[in-house]
A and B are shown apart, each in its own frame.
Chain A
Amino acid sequence: MQTRTSFRLLLISILLAGQVRGAEQRPNAEKAPQTDLATLLRIQTDVQKLLPQVRPALVAIQTGGGTASGVIISADGLLLTAAHVPGGPGKDMRVILEDGSVTTAKSLGLDTTTDAALAQLKKREKPWPFVKLSREVIKAQPGEWCFALGHPGGFDKSRGPVLRVGKIIKQTANSLHTDCVLMGGDSGGPLFNFAGEVIGIHSQIWENRDQNVHVSMTPFLRSWEAMQKSQVIKIWGVGAGGYLGVATVMSDDVELEVADVIEGSPAQKAGVRAGDVILSVNGDAMTDQQQFTATVRAKAAGDTLKIKLRSSGKERELAVKLAQKPQEEGQ
């Protein structure tokens, strides 16, 4: 009980921070029209028209660890799911189709950083029912309506798949956040746009109802070939930008302090140590974490950063050459 309570408090404090950020950046707050009944009814009509087309592509997945969801995206049985569902490449999974018929699939590659995974259904004569995935990730913007399918709590024949309709709250480099409420068992299930295309794969939740995180199509499209070759991608990074390999924390004196240095990273090789205070990068004074992240991400692999540090009262300057994000081969 004790630990749980404190954990909740922690979540709440972070949540508040998030909401403050949200409040600062209201896109079209004044312009946003109030929704009318006709809009809701149009959404309803569209969802109900798309459902019969997309539902057959939803599957329930059972592994040794529990049950989850997935979605078929090609006639020859390629399956998208979340990386934490198979947990590794080459894993056999039991797959239940909408009508209750059972088949198997084997996991291919996965991207453990973004929670994206690819799997292959067992070959069959008849083409698999499938849906398309959206290649225009940029279109999934806050405020857009979307809908989610999945098997929360596992496959239940009498209940069938569970539908949720909601809005996109945010798009990040590799994910979408929506108010389509998810829970255990939904993992790996699809989030759709109103063209009936997959725009997300259910991945994570936070305590708040509006905190439902889906892997966007970005990591899938970026790592498609690698995942088809059953590779495991552990990218240290989101989006573009060179790789430095440090974690920072704001110290009690409100200074930017190195909390951790990743083993084998450019930062470690250049001599950055935990406890160092970061004073400046390329001559620009560093005052907070966001500014530092932005500065590092603005540089590409191969670029050199001049980082001025202070430890035990002594200042020093290091040159760190940013590297490629590390990737690891699969089995």
Chain B
Amino acid sequence: MVEPPPEKLTPELVFREYAPRIYNLARRMLGNDADAEDVTQDVLLQVVRKLDTFRGESQIATWLHRVTVNAALAHRAKRANRQKHEAGEAGDDLDGAVSTGPVNRWAVSPDEPVLAAEQQEIIEKAINTLPEPFRDVYVLADVEGLPNADIADMLGLSVPAVKSRLHRARLRMRDALAPHFEGGLAP
């Protein structure tokens, strides 16, 4: 999530460097702007208060991921108290959730794709349709690039559970993206 900033860590630098990253992670986990903004504010305040205790950028990067995930999960739990939500209802059963029929090739470059704004929006929307337990793992693993063991630790899951959810999330994402990438919308 976070690359080392070139300058000395200061509260202002933390705001400039990390606020957008915290916001993007929270936005993807929570699926809406208002909740992401609340979480970003909470996390930034925690960062500012604890800044003196960090000994390096890698330490703050790891800590930020964890604090952002915790804040997002806590925010979601509060929201779920107000309205019954689908969190926790994503069963382990793949039947009916994933296409097992014929599939078509995608027009995607084999190199690292550079996403157009329209493509980015399609992917973000597809992420937003994932059930929350799948979405959390997917965002942390495939978007943020965190190791499964770290994700398991953050979410209180076993590594096999993380792998299982990630696989199912990828299959759902594959199905959701297929209509858009089969054909002319290649990066």
On whether the two chains bind one another, the answer is no
Interface residues of chain B, those whose CB is within 8 Å of chain A, are none
